[in-house]
Structure 1
Amino acid sequence: MLCQLSINNFAIVRFLELDFKVGMTSITGETGAGKSIAIDALGLCLGNRIDANSVRPGATKAEVSARFVLDDVPLAKRWLEDNDLEMEDDCILRRTISAEGRSRAYINGNPVPVAQLKSLGQLLVGIHGQHAHHAMLKSEHQLTLLDAYANHKMLLDGVSKSYQRTKDIEHNLQQLEQAQHERLARKQLLQYQVEELNEFNLAENEFTEIEQEHKRLANGSELIERCQQTLSLLNDNDDGNVGSLLYQSISIAEGLVDVDPQLSSISDMLNQALIQVQESTSEIESYVSNIELDPQHFEYLDTRLSQAMQLARKHHVSPQTLSAHHLALKTELADLSGDETKLDEIRMQLEQSKAAYAKHALKLSQSRARYAKELNKLVTQSIHELNMPKGQFIIDVAYQAEHISVNGSDKIEFLVTTNPGQPLQPIVKVASGGELSRIGLGIQVITAKKVSTPTLIFDEVDVGISGPTAAVVGKMLRSLGESTQVFCVTHLPQVAGNGHQHMYVNKFNKGGQTETLMTPLSKEQRVNELARLLGGDSITENTLANAKELLH
């Protein structure tokens, strides 16, 4: 429960330190005094968004801290343990806001993201605002109210997890089917490309070979002419050739060896040179004899060379690597076998997941229908007590198997009739503003008894209610306060008188600045405050007597 709230320089509050007790605490004050100021400040500790008026004018920062006793709140204790934020004694939530709008959050002295304040705050405090009954007109909020009353968290978690798994599998299947579509398009392209390259069938290193042969044939006549010139110089020229000159040189050198044996190496080298010339001559003669100036073969080579270069440009590779590219495409085509096995497995998983979801959703729907009947009786009884004696309240739970959502497959609708003889109709079409307030308040009080939140705040939820009905509301909230800490901001004396304790909010001017204070009232002070609520500024003996009767 909330045991202490400290507020510094927040809005029109300079400083407040409030200690709270168990039971129901009534909060009253004059119009415009800021009765909800403490609730707004507490909201900051619970992770609510800040606004431009959070910091008191003239102050550099605002600071709010809330102390909670968690003796009977195991979920909050577990949350703190899971997030390594355990406390030694009480749990302290703190929030600071600078005048520039920067915010910092702390749990038990540890800096945390604001989202963690909100996450923990939901386990500690439940706030019911004066416009909550308007939210009740929306189908999704009606579903939330029913689930809060049923408190079937495990069933909700089962549906949520099953729904998420189904969505994940659907997403995976969609990606695989898209990839399969892309693979099919790629396969069709590869089949065309491979067939084209298969038809051309360029062998490894063939392009280099035909390129060289094409160049040789293109220059065949010049090659023959140059080779004949070389042969003439080496051996065939009668006027003098390399071979005959070498013979003469060898003859002279061998004669010199007889005179000086040291010249024998020169004779050997000249003999070797003659051998090289003779072998070169033989090679050139063989080469010339094998040159065939075949125009048809040249045309074939020219055509194949052109086709290879054209295909290489088409495939954005060099002609030298066209054969390797052809092999790579054939390998990729073989890998794209169009195997549907994995897709079939995913489709089967999806069907199984949908079946599991339907099973969870049906169990949840059955639980909702069971608790709806229970809630129907309680709300109908409550609105009878709230001056609607002929009213009837029904929750219609319609299971729609084709509807798949994270919250299940149910369509929830609150139906009501407020006058005898009228059929049940959706609450949005039937209830007036005052009736809606009473029905909404009844549901809030009933559902609040079922939730594990240790502190509940009702912020002017009794708007539109007066007279005997207000007294019933007060008794409802007091009864709720017997088991749960309840704060009720109200303007009704019949409600305020039911509080186990009472706090008064007062706004005043000090030094040219507005301030707000919240102070606990003694029994005598409570009587005077209830008399003020009953009679306004004119407090008489009768109003005081009436106030004493209202005080519990």
Structure 2
Amino acid sequence: MLSHLSVRHFAIVKSLDIELRNGMTAITGETGAGKSIAIDALGLCLGERAEAGMVRPGADKAEVTAIFSISKLPAARQWLDQHELLSDDENECIIRRVISAEGRSRAFINGSPAPLQLLKSLGHYLVSIHGQHAHQQLLKTDQQRILLDHFGQLEQPLKQVKSDFRRLGELSKQYRELESTQSQRQARRQLLEYQVSELDDFALQEHEFAELELEYKRLSNSQTLLEQSQLSFHQLYADEEVNALSLVQSSIDKLTDLQDSDPRLKPITELLMESSIQISEAASELRNYLDELEIDPASMQQIEQRYDMCMDLARKHQVKPEALYDLHQQLSTEYKSLQQDDDLLEDMQQQLEQANQAYRQAARELSQLRQQKAQALAKQVEAQIHKMNMSQARFEIAVNFNQSAEPQANGLDTIQFKVATNPGLPLDSLEKVASGGELSRIGLAVQVISSASQAIPSMIFDEVDSGISGPTASVVGNLLRQLGETTQVICVTHLPQVAARANNQLFVTKFTDNQTTETNMLELNCDERVNELARLLAGDSLTDSAIANAKELLSLN
């Protein structure tokens, strides 16, 4: 429950500290005194948008602090624990919001900075605020659905429907993207099918072109290699008349004989002897080379054809011949991928059909639960408005399931609140039948009953009793008092019948000295409550009759 609210420099509030208690608390005051300002300030702690105009003129910032007791709120404590925001005192939660004069805003949960989205998320576990225009919101079918789902506690089946809806949407998007490019993929796949088939037939292996190119050059020059190698062998060794080896050997013989005459010839002779050995070894290697050198016209033609084919394919695909193998692998991979995309399209179509069936099944189950809860809610609302001077009214909640409708995140239901305010008249939508006062009564009944089913720890009603008076106001007061037995109820009201039923009452005053305006809020004791109720009954002139009526209203508690 909300135990304390502190407001500093917010709008016309300079400083305000409010202690709040269990049960029902009524907030009253003169028109324009700012009865709703505490609720507006609390809204900031629940993630409402902040504006620079909220800061009191002359102040550099506004600050609002709300303290909640969460000792009996396990869901709130679990949320704080999951977000690592529990304070040392695990039974208390402090939310603070600071707004600068420039409009910048900061928020804190138990002293830790927090984005507004976290404030809103936490607020669902702490407070439910029903504003002055809640009854008008009741005319909207979306709001009617939300109220029904809240009353029926249908969060889990609704979560399943939303999950299935998201899954269906994701698959639909993927399927549309694949389908929209299918013709392009088919054209590309046909081209690749021909290209990959041609490259498959050629079957060039990795690094084969380098070996092929080397062999091609060797075979292309094989005749020249043979002729020049034979000539070289002949000149080095085989020529019977003159060859390099015999000439060197002759020089060695002659110089060897002369070494005795001049020793300086010895190293020269040694070099020639080494040359003789090398020439002999070179001739031997050349002989082996000639023995192994074969000219095979058939092999030469085969190598030449494959080399030419490789060059042709490289030109055709506009790549270097040494890159042809990598291109083949790349095109093969792309071709297989396109084939898989077509298979995926068929598979995704099946998944899409299954997801659609799962969504519609979940939506149907949600609809069946809504129909059950609609009957229960309608019965309770009808019983409540009978007590509010609408004794002949009939109330119904129509839940129409449309199996063939386009998927929606909240299901396939059309939900409509219907009412007949007089006997013999047909049920019709609220906007066509209910007057302003009737709508207020119906809206209040729906809000109280729906929120009570959620066991929300604190409920705040901001003049939701507008358009109600007389005996009906007493019924509304009793309804809020009864709700306050299980939930903290804070009600801004101008009706003495409602205020009198409160366990506690706060009075809002406004002071102005023609230069500044300041709002304050005071807790009333029993005598002060009598005077305030008398004022609400009779205006500023407190008569004995009004005071007597006020005492009588309070005596009903």
> Which TM-score applies when normalising by structure 1?
0.82
Closer, same or farther: CA 198–154 of 1 in aligned 2, 3 Å = closer
Q: Which residue of 1 aligns with 2:399?
A: 397
Closer, same or farther: CA 290–452 of 1 in aligned 2, 3 Å = closer
List per-residue Cα deviations over 1:487-506 (Å, max 9, x = no partner).
Answer: 11122233223222221111
- Aligned partner (choices 370, 377, 380) of residue 378 of structure 1: 380
Closer, same or farther: CA 314–11 of 1 in aligned 2, 3 Å = farther
Q: Which residue of 2 aligns with 1:268?
A: 273
> Alignment partner of 1:388: what SS?
coil
**CA–CA separation in structure 2 for the residues paired with 1:339 and 1:115:** 40
Q: CA deviation at 1:447?
A: 1.8
**CA–CA separation in structure 2 for the residues paired with 1:445 and 1:281:** 111
In structure 1, what residue type is equivalent to 2:63? E
Pairing 1:131–2:133 present: yes
**Conservation of the 8 A alpha-carbon contact between 1:397 and 1:412:** yes
Q: Which moved more, 1:270-279 or 1:217-226?
A: 217-226
**Conservation of the 8 A alpha-carbon contact between 1:194 and 1:330:** yes
List per-residue Cα deviations over 1:100-119 (Å, max 9, x = no partner).
Answer: 33333333334333333222
User: Percent same amino acid among aligned pairs?
Assistant: 47
Q: Which residue of 2 aligns with 1:481?
A: 484
**Conservation of the 8 A alpha-carbon contact between 1:531 and 1:547:** yes
Q: Which residue of 2 aligns with 1:456?
A: 459
Q: CA deviation at 1:486?
A: 1.2
Q: Which residue of 1 aligns with 2:510?
A: 507
- The answer for unaligned runs of 5 or more in structure 1 is none
5 Å matches for 1:53-202? 53-84=53-84, 85-86=86-87, 87-164=89-166, 188-198=190-200, 200=202, 202=204
**CA–CA separation in structure 2 for the residues paired with 1:331 and 1:7:** 67
> Alignment partner of 1:53: what SS?
helix
List per-residue Cα deviations over 1:407-451 (Å, max 9, x = no partner).
Answer: 333221111222333222222333233322222122112223222
List per-residue Cα deviations over 1:50-109 (Å, max 9, x = no partner).
Answer: 122222222222222222223432322332333331534433222222333333333333
Closer, same or farther: CA 214–385 of 1 in aligned 2, 3 Å = same
Count of residue pairs brought into register by the alignment: 549
Pairing 1:548–2:551 present: yes
Q: Which residue of 1 aligns with 2:419?
A: 416
**CA–CA separation in structure 2 for the residues paired with 1:457 and 1:339:** 56
**CA–CA separation in structure 1 for the residues paired with 2:304 and 2:343:** 49
In structure 1, what residue type is equivalent to 2:67? R
Closer, same or farther: CA 267–493 of 1 in aligned 2, 3 Å = closer
List per-residue Cα deviations over 1:422-481 (Å, max 9, x = no partner).
Answer: 222222333233322222122112223222112111101122223333333222222222
Q: CA RMSD in A?
A: 4.5
Q: CA deviation at 1:205?
A: 5.9
Q: Which residue of 2 aligns with 1:312?
A: 314
List per-residue Cα deviations over 1:347-390 (Å, max 9, x = no partner).
Answer: 76666665555554444323222221122222223333333333
**Conservation of the 8 A alpha-carbon contact between 1:231 and 1:284:** no
Q: Which moved more, 1:187-196 or 1:245-254?
A: 245-254
Pairing 1:4–2:33 present: no
> Alignment partner of 1:450: what SS?
helix
In structure 2, what residue type is equivalent to 1:35? K
**CA–CA separation in structure 2 for the residues paired with 1:268 and 1:247:** 8
**CA–CA separation in structure 1 for the residues paired with 2:34 and 2:508:** 7
> Alignment partner of 1:42: what SS?
helix
**Conservation of the 8 A alpha-carbon contact between 1:254 and 1:267:** no
Pairing 1:388–2:393 present: no
- The answer for unaligned runs of 5 or more in structure 2 is none
**CA–CA separation in structure 2 for the residues paired with 1:151 and 1:132:** 20
Q: Which moved more, 1:324-333 or 1:121-130?
A: 324-333
Q: Which moved more, 1:142-151 or 1:420-429?
A: 420-429
Closer, same or farther: CA 438–88 of 1 in aligned 2, 3 Å = closer
> Alignment partner of 2:26: what SS?
strand
**CA–CA separation in structure 2 for the residues paired with 1:225 and 1:71:** 106
**Conservation of the 8 A alpha-carbon contact between 1:246 and 1:274:** no
Pairing 1:472–2:475 present: yes
**CA–CA separation in structure 2 for the residues paired with 1:548 and 1:6:** 32
**CA–CA separation in structure 2 for the residues paired with 1:357 and 1:186:** 36
5 Å matches for 1:303-382? 308-309=310-311, 311-315=313-317, 317-323=319-325, 325-326=327-328, 329=331, 338=340, 357-382=359-384
**CA–CA separation in structure 2 for the residues paired with 1:79 and 1:324:** 56
Q: CA deviation at 1:286?
A: 9.4
In structure 1, what residue type is equivalent to 2:519? T
> Which TM-score applies when normalising by structure 2?
0.81
Closer, same or farther: CA 110–331 of 1 in aligned 2, 3 Å = closer
**Conservation of the 8 A alpha-carbon contact between 1:27 and 1:35:** yes
**CA–CA separation in structure 2 for the residues paired with 1:53 and 1:386:** 40
- Aligned partner (choices 411, 425, 429) of residue 426 of structure 1: 429
